[in-house]
């Protein structure tokens, strides 16, 4: 769909295509809902290149070798109630003002290029990741990092009330892949359990950590560098490292 607006795309099956199951390029206010997009050659759905508004709701997207949803250069979208399973990366967001809520995001499979993230926020301002169920995955459950620091830094991101379990590396990470700034991040009221390394690994000063719970992770419950803002109410127990938390206080 090219530079077209206010369309409804619903109840289709787009499987076994050479590139992507679906592409939405430009336009505004489109609704993509209740579709199935499995086993395509690259992405389940590409959504971006200037698209504004609109929503991806209640789609089932599985086993695409690159991204389940590649949301690139798109603003102010609602991504909600989708089921993403076994894609190379399940969900990548690069844009402003997007809301990722109440999705079930499981078992990102990884790839030769080092993917395997269930939810990856990679650039843009004011994105929100709220109340998602994030399970398994070949790398981190939820990643925040900046990959285009001169043009599109990741700023003022909110990660709140997510359940993150069983990621191979960290449950939630901030700035672990690059040396680029990730200013204004708020990580609040998340539950991280049984992840392979840390429950939360936060390597950018200025990040706010508040009311997170980290239990039974392989290393620390919360690993935070100097300058991370301790908003209080963080808890950690039963993690592999007896220190439980560094950089913030944990009950």
CATH of span 8-246 = 2.160.20.10
* Three-state secondary-structure class, residue 128: strand
**pLDDT over threshold 90, residue 16:** yes
Which residue ranges make up each domain of the chain? 8-246
- pLDDT, tens only, 107-162: 999 998 889 999 999 999 999 999 999 999 999 999 999 999 998 999 999 999 99
pLDDT of residue 112: 84
- pLDDT, tens only, 186-226: 999 999 999 999 999 999 999 999 999 999 999 999 999 99
Q: How far apart are CA 35 and CA 113, in angstroms?
A: 28
End-to-end alpha-carbon separation of the chain, Å? 51
Burial 127-166, CB ≥16 within 10 A → b, else e: bbbbbbebbbbbbbbbbbbbeeeeebbbbbbbbbbbbbbb
CA 112 to each of CA 88, 89, 105, 177, 246: distance values in angstroms, whole numbers, following the listed order: 9, 12, 21, 16, 33
How many of the other CB atoms lie within 10 Å of CB of 240? 14
Question: How far, rounded to the nearest angstrom, does the alpha carbon of residue 120 sit from its chain's CA centroid?
Answer: 4
């Amino acid at each position: 769909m090219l530079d077209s607006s206010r369309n409804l795309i619903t109840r289709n099956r787009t499987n076994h295509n050479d590139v992507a199951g679906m592409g939405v390029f430009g336009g505004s206010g489109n609704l993509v809902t209740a579709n199935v997009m499995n086993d395509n050659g690259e992405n389940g759905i590409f959504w971006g290149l200037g698209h504004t508004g609109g929503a991806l709701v209640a789609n089932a997207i599985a086993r695409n070798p690159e991204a389940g949803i590649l949301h690139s250069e798109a603003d102010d979208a609602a991504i909600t109630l989708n089921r993403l399973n076994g894609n190379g990366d399940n969900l990548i967001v690069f844009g402003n003002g997007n809301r990722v809520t109440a999705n079930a995001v499981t078992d990102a499979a990884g790839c030769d290029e080092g993917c395997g993230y269930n939810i990856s926020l990679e650039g843009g301002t004011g994105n929100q990741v709220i109340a998602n169920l994030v399970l398994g995955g070949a790398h981190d459950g939820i990643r925040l990092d900046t990959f285009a620091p001169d043009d599109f830094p990741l700023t003022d991101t909110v990660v709140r009330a997510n359940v993150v379990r069983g990621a191979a590396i960290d449950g939630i990470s901030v700035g672990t892949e690059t040396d680029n700034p990730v200013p204004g991040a708020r990580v609040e009221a998340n539950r991280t359990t049984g992840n392979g390394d840390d429950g939360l690994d936060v390597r950018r000063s200025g990040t706010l950590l508040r009311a997170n719970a980290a239990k039974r992770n392989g290393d620390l419950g919360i690993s935070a560098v100097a300058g991370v803002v301790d908003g209080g109410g963080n808890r950690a127990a039963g993690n592999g490292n007896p220190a439980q938390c560094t950089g913030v206080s944990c009950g």
